[in-house]
Amino acid sequence: MNKDFSFLNEDFDDLRDLLQQFENLRAGKSHSFLDEDSFEQIIDYYDEHDEMPIALQAAEIAIEQFPYSSTLLLKKANLLIETKKYKEALNLLEKAAVLDRNDINLYILQTDVYLALNQHQKAAAVLEEQIGQFSGEDRTDLLLELADVYDDWEEFEKVFDCLKMALEYDPNNEEALHKICFWTEFTGRNEESIRLHNYIIDEHPFNHLAWFNLGTAYQGLKLYEKAIDAYQYAVAIDEKFDYAYRNMGDAFIRLRKYADAIEVLQKHLEIAKPEDVIYEAIGHCYERQRKFTQARYYYRKASHLSPNDDKLYYKIAVAYMMEANWDNAAKSLLSALKINKQSAEYNMSLGECYLELGRNKEALVHFMNAVRTRPKSATAWQELLKGLYVSGFLEEALVQLSIAEEKAGRKPVFIYYRAAILIAMGKTKEGMLQLETALQQAPKVVKKLVELDPAILQHVSVVDLIAQYRRKR
C-alpha cells in the first residue's frame, strides 16, 4: 500500500511561504500578517540552519509586535545563550518570568546560563525550587535536568538521587531508566538500585528496562545467578533486547557456564550488529572448553572487525600453543608484534615457540627484547635464563642471572636457576649449596627447578636433598 506523504509537501510549502513573507517584511515590502506561531517557526528555522543574526532579528521583530509573549522572550533568550550573551539572556528571562512562571523552559534556560557561567549552585537552586511546583512530565523533566546539573558539577551521588526520585515519580521513564543503569555502576549503589527496581517491577511487571537494570545491579554485587534470572525476564518481554543477551553472556562466563554463554552471545549476534567483543567472548568460551579450533575461528572473526587489535592475534597464538602447533602460533605472534613491538608477553611467547621449533638463537633475541621492555619482570628474566640454559650458554646464563637479581630482585626462583646452571656446568658442590639455600627460603618453588630441567632429578643427591626438605615440612 502506498503511503500518502503529501502533508509533508504541504508543511514545506507553508514554511516556505512564511519565510518569504518574513523576507518581504525585512525588505520593507508588502507582506501578509505574521502571527506569534509563525514567528516561532521562522526563528526556529534560522536557528536550526545556523543563521543566527537573522534568527535574532526575527526574534526582535516578533517581540516588538507581541511584547507580552513569554514564549518569544524565551526564544530570544535561547539565541542569546547560544551566542554567549549571558547577562542579556538573564534579563530577558526575568521579564519572561513576570509574564508566565509556568513554562519549564524558563527554568531550564536559567539553568543553562548558570552552567555556562560555571555557577552550579545557582543552577541547582533554580531547579530545586521549582520541582515541587510542577507535576507530570514537567516534574520528571526538571529532575532529569537537575541530574545533568549535578553531573556537570561532579556531585555524582546526587545524580543517582535525582534519577531515583524521577523513577519513584515516573517509573516507566525510559531516559531515567537508561541513565540510572550507568550511575548505579558508577556510584556502586547496587543495593538501592535493587530495591528501586523491585518496587518498579511490582507495579509494572512488563518493564523490560527495569528487569535489565535489576540484572546489572545484581551483577554489580557478583550475584550472577540472580542477574541471569532478571535478564531472562527482560528478554522474555523484549526478545530483541541485545544488551540483556550481552550481559547475560558475561554473567554465564563469570559462572564458568561456557556453553550457556555461547548460546546467549550467539543470540546477540542474530539480532544486533556484529561486534569484535562478542566474537572475542565466544572465542574465550570455546578456549575455556579446550575447543581451540572454534576459539580461533571466533578470534579471527573479531580480528576482521578490529584488525589493529594485537591481543586478538595473541589469543589466536595461545590457542595454537595449547595444541603445540608452534609454527602457526609463531606466525600469529609475529602479527601481534607488528602492531605492538613493545609487548614483553608477545616476545616471551614467540621465544617459547622458537625454542620448541629448535630456533634457539631467534628465541634468545625475543627473550632479550622482553627483558629490555620489562627489566623488573622476574618472569621475563626466567624465560631468558631458560632459553640460555636449554641452548647450552651456561656461562652467559650466569652473567644474565646476576643482572636479573640486580634488576628484578633476589627471588628464590633465581637461586634455583643458579643451582641448576652450576650443576649443569659440573660444579655440583656449589650447585648443591645454592639448592639448599633455595629450599630453606622457598621449598614450594622447587617445581620451577624441575620445569627448567626435568633431567635434574636423575641426580641422586638432588633428589635426596629435596626429599629431606619435604620430610621437614
The number of angstroms, rounded, from the C-alpha of 84 to the middle of its chain's C-alpha atoms is: 34
**Amino acid 32: pLDDT:** 64
Is residue 161 within 8 Å of residue 149, measured between CB atoms?
Answer: no
SS3 (DSSP) at 8: helix
Q: What local confidence, expressed as pLDDT, does residue 4 receive?
A: 47
C-alpha cell at 313: 592475534
Nearest to 135 by CA among 169, 162, 183, 186: 169
Distance CA 259, CA 282 (A): 9
Number of C-beta neighbours around residue 140 at 10 A: 20
449, 421 contact by CB (below 8 A): no
Cβ atoms of 238 and 251 within 8 Å: the answer is no
Distance CA(245)–CA(235), nearest Å, equals: 8
- Give the count of beta carbons closer than 10 Å to the beta carbon of residue 340: 15
What's the rounded Cα separation, in Å, for the pair 15 and 234?
A: 44
Distance CA 326, CA 358 (A): 11
Distance, CA of 215 to CA of 193 (rounded, Å): 10
Residue 384 has a pLDDT of 97
Residue from 87, 80, 114, 109 nearest 97 by CA: 109
Give the span between the Cα atoms of 361 and 368, in whole angstroms: 11
CA 204 to chain centre: 30
DSSP string, 436-464: HHHHHH-GGGHHHHHHH-GGGGG-HHHHH
Closest CA to 218 of 185, 243, 249, 246: 185
Amino acid at 334: L
Residue with cell 590457542: 319
Q: Report yes or no: 72 and 62 within 8 Å, Cβ to Cβ.
A: yes
Here the cell at position 37 is 506561531
Nearest to 131 by CA among 120, 143, 122, 123: 143
Angle, vertex CA 236, rays to CA 232 and CA 237, nearest 5: 120
Q: What is the pLDDT of residue 7?
A: 34
What are the grid coordinates assigned to 197, written together?
A: 527496581
Amino acid occupying residue 397: A
Report the first-to-last Cα separation within the chain, whole angstroms.
Answer: 86
Residues contacting residue 363 through CB under 8 Å, at least 6 positions apart: 350, 351, 352, 353, 354, 355, 387, 391
Per-residue pLDDT at 83: 87
- Residue 184 contacts residue 176 (beta carbons within 8 Å): no
Per-residue pLDDT of the chain (473 residues; tens, 9 = 90+): 444 433 334 566 677 777 777 777 776 666 667 777 887 788 888 878 888 888 887 888 888 788 888 888 888 888 888 888 888 898 888 888 888 888 888 999 999 999 999 899 999 999 998 998 899 999 999 999 999 999 999 999 999 999 999 999 999 999 999 999 999 999 999 999 999 999 999 999 999 999 999 999 999 999 999 999 999 999 999 999 999 999 999 999 999 999 999 999 999 999 999 999 999 999 999 999 999 999 999 999 999 999 999 999 999 999 999 999 999 999 999 999 999 999 999 999 999 999 999 999 999 999 999 999 999 999 999 999 999 999 999 999 999 999 999 999 999 999 999 999 999 999 999 999 999 999 999 999 999 999 999 999 999 999 999 988 877 65
**Can you list the positions of beta strands (E) in 8-96?**
none
How many residues are there in the chain? 473
